[in-house]
Structure 1
Amino acid sequence: MPYPIALTIAGSDSGGGAGIQADLKAFSALQVYGASVITAITAQNTRAVTAVQPLSPDMVVAQMDAVFDDLDVGAIKIGMLGGSDVITAVAARLKGTSIPIVLDPVMVAKSGDALLPDDAVDALRDHLLPLATILTPNLPEAARLLGTHPAETPRQMTGQAVALRALGPTHVLMKGGHAAGDICVDLLVGPQPLTLTAPRHGTKNTHGTGCSLSAAIAAGLAAGLPVPQAISRAHGWLQGAITAADRLGVGHGHGPVHHFHEVWE
């Protein structure tokens, strides 16, 4: 049997901890072949993003055409897209597809640098949210999409997830990493609701957690797992990657999680 294939459409992280690089590592760690469409090139490391160069919409779509013309893609993960022109081009190319889509609405890097201009938020909300099988916002991203304040309680998280579902996604996974408390709660709202909890780890090395989680979910969908199982498996894998993050010792800022914690000695 051939290995399943997942496609990531996202920006490149020169530091290797997030973006395309993190997605391909997550795919590989979960035994899924990864293809990629690069939307922007960033100069960044564990400390900061120092430059961003978007690719043209035509080049982004050309990469998508090349992949779809040859590879049997089982799931798509969408991350950083940059400007509204790329967002609308990607949405137009994916309109009508039956391939499950995991949309991670990347807006801010771990360093705090903005990755999505204000004028692109409307395009993301209007054109891509209706195509998403699973939307995976953290609390600040969910609030920005809705034009409100970040949720602080599970009840508020559920309310915002319901509001986001009304914009089109089939499922919304609200990630609670930015909330307070020793226990991190993620809530899936949709046809098959799910609550996931994990202890909050005392590490600064969490660069790329959002990218890696959404990619791991896409890997599960590409392998044929139902949505709750794909999310549960990805959640457990990411917790292991965070727990082992300090073993990598990469960089001097917010280092990456350990994607290959189950493989490397």
Structure 2
Amino acid sequence: MRTALTIAGSDSGGGAGIQADLKSFASVGVHGTSAITCVTAQNTRSVDSIFPIPVAEIRKQLRAVLGDFDVRAAKTGMLFSAEIVRTVAKELRGTSFPLVVDPVMVATVGARLEQDDFADALGDHLLGLAALATPNRFEAERLSGIRIDDVESMEAAARAILRLGPKAVLVKGGHTKGVLVDVLYDGRRMRRLRGRRYPKTLHGAGCTLAASTAAYLALGRPLLAAVESARRKVAAGFRQSYRAGHGVEIIDSHAVPD
């Protein structure tokens, strides 16, 4: 069985973070390993606290996994601080597997999941190691400095983010208006990936997309095929979403396309 690694925060509500990532890995037949960066006290209504794991412990987790498992792909989620970003980048430098960077900055319920120095550190240290970055509208605006109002500005943001070092950028259109379009740019071709827009906001959708892309990369699929498969998986997760708490619904990270 192929192995993938998630480097992200723990969600006590079970809908996002490493919990969503590990469910996404397992659903497509990939063994999931993890390095927890932060422990959060959160549910479907709020994020009540964030406890960053000391970087020495994050380093130990990464070395334990990378020293034993044949990791075929990895993804990062909530990294929270520049110190954690630098630690993760240092441990991943020299690895050969594809890395998906989900630049998590804000939770679905609106809570901030980053410190002030996070975005700059991401561009300086981690994005250059990424096979793919998967920012949503807000994250793409932060990383690119470009206001996003339409598909053309999404494409401009993708070009700007690519200059920070990743091999490809997927700017997600879930937080924009109109027809759902995600923009995938690899420096050679700009693709507009269309899909059905579901009229609801779900907890864990971004985590599920990035983790599923990493899982399909671990299975050996080329980047475009991995992204397309992950998008279909997320669409299935939207169709099968459920309400476990009293706040927003949770995406079904176990869901797979028909």
TM-score in terms of structure 2 length: 0.96
CA distance in 2, matches of 1:64, 1:259: 24
**SS of alignment partner, residue 135 of structure 2:** coil
Match of 1:173 in 2: 170
SS at match of 2:182: strand
After TM superposition, the structure 1 = structure 2 runs for residues 115-194 of structure 1, keeping only pairs within 5 Å, are 115-149=113-147, 151-181=148-178, 183-190=179-186, 191=188, 193-194=190-191
**What TM-score do you get using the length of structure 1 for normalisation?**
0.94
Distance 1:224 1:193, change over 3 A: farther
Deviates more, 1:69-78 or 1:117-126: 117-126
Give the letter for the 1:104 counterpart: D
In structure 2, C-alpha distance between the alignment counterparts of 1:136 and 1:69, rounded to whole Å: 27
* Cα distance in structure 1, aligned partners of 2:236 and 2:193: 14
Q: Cα deviation per residue 1:156-184 (whole Å; 9 max; x = unaligned)?
A: 11111011101100000010011111x21
The answer to whether the 8 Å contact 2:146/2:153 transfers is no
TM-superposition CA deviations, 1:3-30 (whole Å, max 9, x none)? 1110000000000000000000100111
- Mapped contact 2:170–2:182 kept (Cα < 8 A): yes
1:223 aligns with 2:219: yes
2:206 is matched with which residue?
Answer: 210
CA distance in 2, matches of 1:135, 1:217: 11
Per-residue displacement from partner, 1:65-102 (whole Å, max 9, x unpaired)? Answer: 00011100000000101111111011111112211000
Percent identity of the aligned residues?
45
Which of 253, 259, 262 is the matching residue for 2:253? 259
Task: Map Cα deviations across residues 130-153 of structure 1 (whole Å, 9 max, x no partner).
Answer: 11100000011011112342x111
Question: Unpaired segments of 5 or more residues in structure 2?
Answer: none
**Superposed displacement of residue 195, structure 1:** 2.5
Aligned to 2:228, which of 232, 238, 258? 232
Q: How many residues of Structure 1 are paired with residues of Structure 2 in the alignment?
A: 256
Contact 1:9/1:36 (CA < 8 Å) preserved in 2? yes
Question: Do 2:146 and 2:157's aligned partners in 1 also have CA atoms closer than 8 Å?
Answer: no
Q: Tell me by how many angstroms 1:258 deviates.
A: 1.2
| Aligned equivalents of 1:258, 1:24: Cα separation in 2 | 12
Distance in structure 1 (CA, Å) of the matches to 2:255 and 2:71: 26
Distance 1:90 1:261, change over 3 A: closer
Q: Distance in 2 between matches of 1:173 and 1:146?
A: 13
Supply the AA of the counterpart residue of 1:56. Answer: P
Q: Distance in 1 between matches of 2:38 and 2:138?
A: 22
C-alpha separation in 2, matches of 1:44 and 1:253: 11
Residue 154 of structure 1: CA displacement? Answer: 1.1
What's 2:197 paired with? 200
Kept in 2, the 8 Å contact 1:6–1:32? The answer is yes
CA contact (8 A) 1:9 1:76 kept: yes
Match for residue 55 of structure 2? 57
Per-residue CA deviation, residues 18-57 of structure 1 (Å, 9 max, x unaligned), is 0000000100111111000000000000000001000011
**9-18 vs 185-194, greater mean Cα deviation:** 185-194
| Cα root mean square deviation, aligned | 1.3
Q: What secondary structure does 2:183 align onto?
A: strand
Please give the secondary structure, in 1, of the residue aligned with 2:50.
strand
1:172 counterpart letter in structure 2:
V
State how far apart, in whole Å, the 2-side matches of 1:168 and 1:32 are: 27
Match of 2:85 in 1: 87
Distance 1:74 1:86 in 2: 22
16, 20, 23: which one aligns with 2:14: 16
- The amino acid that maps onto 2:73 is A
Decide whether the 8 Å contact of 1:5 with 1:75 is kept in 2.
yes
Partner of 1:97: 95
